[in-house]
Chains A and B, each alone.
Chain A
Amino acid sequence: MLDVEGLAKATGAGGREEIRIQRQISLPWSEAVRISVRNVTMRLGRTMITASGIVLGIAFLSSIWTGGVIEDGLQQARLEQERELVAATARDQAESDSGKTEASAAISEEERRAQSSKRIWLVVMSLLVCGVGITNAMLMSVTERFREIGTMKCLGALDNFIVRLFLIEAMALGVLGSVLGTVLGHLAMLGIFAIRERSLSVAAKMDWGQMLTYLLLCVLIGTVLSLVSAIAPAVRAAHMRPAAALQSEI
């Protein structure tokens, strides 16, 4: 028979020692960032796939908006050209053609309204596409790590540690992916228009102020979407009982 009593006494002393150094449970932000960065860089392949979901979605949105701004610019340029032409002819035949000019302006107004509703439809579609894409990417990247989450909870992680880790990750992925996507979509559209118009003058003709607003909006939307779509699965995963999280197999 083993001397359980003796062992009990030995642990008793150890236990008291332990109580003296007790502190609370914590996860400093610096550590959280370090772990998250590690998570992103170590699974680079997986991260790229998640990020490409964001990149593609945002590139789509960015390209639609860029295309819109470029078209507006081109149309504006064409309109001005036309107006100049009209003005030049008007100088010659001041009275006779005034009716015609109004008619052509009305047509372009109607055209533009049709075009803008088409564009809104495209923007809504692209928002849906990138919303779904990003949500799916984030959902998968959280779900496939349930086991890891369960392990962390066994090691004493609070629910909010888990959420924090995933939010930092989603934030990083969101910002990087959106910036990349925005730039890609923008450049692609510029390229397409430059080829179509056979000149780089498209860049000069568009409203850069408006363009910049749209590009920033793209980055913002991408980041917010990835954060929002990561919150739900991260919170769900964090609230799981460790036993359930550990048993999940993917």
Chain B
Amino acid sequence: MAKIECPECGEQIETTGIVTVCAKCEADLREVMEAARRERDERMKTIVRDDSVTTHEFIVRTRDLKKIYIMGEIEVPALRDVDLDVRRGEYLSIMGPSGSGKSTLFNMIGGLDKPTAGRCFIEEVDMAQLDAFELAWLRCRKIGYIFQTFNLIPVMTAMENITLPMIFAGMGTDEMMDRGRELLDMVGLGDRLDHKPYELSGGQQQRVAVARALANSPAIVLADEPTGNLDLHTGKEIIDLLKELNQFSGVTIISATHDLKMIDVSDRVVHIRDGEIERIEHRADIDLEVGGMGE
């Protein structure tokens, strides 16, 4: 049952969808009803419940986040009560030796795995409360993922890889092609549209992955060791690309890494050890340190 307004006479009509003409002036209401239905569906499926959420200061918050992996009979704690707030538009690096839990944290924030205990909020929405559809929606539109191993779909061209999330988001073909081209141009691969992943170098593949992560203009880009499989120079290029995106489009970037080059561009660096936040460095402090070393 929905209340709609007749476009002709302004009469408020309650309808279940069976009656398609206005009771007063007999105007055709199908178009209006369709629009109302679509709007309602969107509202229901929208994780961002209202426009005001975009004013939340913290885009990601975790509270007492805990993850225990069970290996046979041994319980291995990967995260112990992690509290982390990430500001909108921030470039945050999560650093730590391998096995410190940074990838686990990445998975929790990205909604790729469920925490054993504790909560993780994206735009103040508790991820534990989301159903499968809402989670998929979140992954599709709110978060872009970049992986160490690129994870492009091997049978698809660069263009198809980038447009896949747009297909899921229901974008029209023309719009999709335009956006795909735009994104590939932006990462400097405008001439490699029809190349398959195996025809591209590691750095180029990662650029495609960056473009794919941005396909549906996400609010957050999550990167798990984005430079881990790249040489020094290509790694730097990817980092610069991420930083540019962060600065010009204001997308929040959260990157799990142990690449020290990341420190230069990060607003904050969270150091993780044994599943706990050891310390958080701010950019100002780092600049100071680097300056001190230079003298």
Residues in chain B near residue A150, CB distance under 8 A: 112, 151
* In-complex Cβ contact of B51 among A19, A25, A242, A244 (8 A): A19
Contact B251 A154 (CB under 8 A): no
Contact A156 B89 (CB under 8 A): no
Contact B112 A155 (CB under 8 A): no
Please report which residues of chain A, range 23-73, place their CB below 8 angstroms from some CB of chain B when the two chains form the complex: 23-28, 31, 35, 38-39, 42-43
* In-complex Cβ contact of B168 among A11, A27, A242 (8 A): A27
**Is A157 an interface residue when CB atoms closer than 8 A count as contact?**
yes
Inter-chain contact count A-B, CB under 8 Å? 139
Main secondary structure of the interface of A (DSSP, over half): helix
A10-B250, A12-B54 in contact; A148/B168 too (CB < 8 A)?
A: no
* In-complex Cβ contact of B155 among A11, A25, A39 (8 A): A39
Contact B41 A24 (CB under 8 A): yes
Contact B217 A25 (CB under 8 A): no
Distance to closest chain B CB from A201 (angstroms): 50
Question: In the complex, how many residues of chain B place their beta carbon closer than 8 angstroms to a beta carbon of chain A?
Answer: 55
Residues in chain A near residue B160, CB distance under 8 A: 38
The winner among A24, A153, A246 for most chain B CB atoms within 10 A is A24
Query: What is the interface of chain B, defined by CB distance below 8 A to chain A?
Result: 41-42, 45-46, 48, 51, 54-55, 57, 87-90, 107, 110, 112-114, 132-133, 136-137, 139-141, 145, 147, 151-156, 160, 164-165, 167-171, 212, 215-217, 219, 247, 249-252, 267, 282-284
Contacts A/B (CB < 8 Å), 18 sampled: A1-B283, A7-B88, A12-B54, A12-B55, A15-B48, A16-B54, A18-B217, A18-B219, A23-B42, A25-B169, A38-B155, A148-B154, A151-B152, A156-B216, A241-B112, A243-B113, A246-B112, A246-B147
- Known contacts A10-B250, A155-B140, A246-B147, then 19 further A-B pairs from the complex at CB < 8 Å, ordered by chain A residue: A4-B267, A7-B89, A8-B87, A11-B250, A18-B217, A22-B46, A23-B169, A24-B45, A25-B137, A25-B170, A31-B167, A147-B151, A151-B152, A154-B110, A161-B168, A241-B114, A242-B139, A243-B107, A246-B151
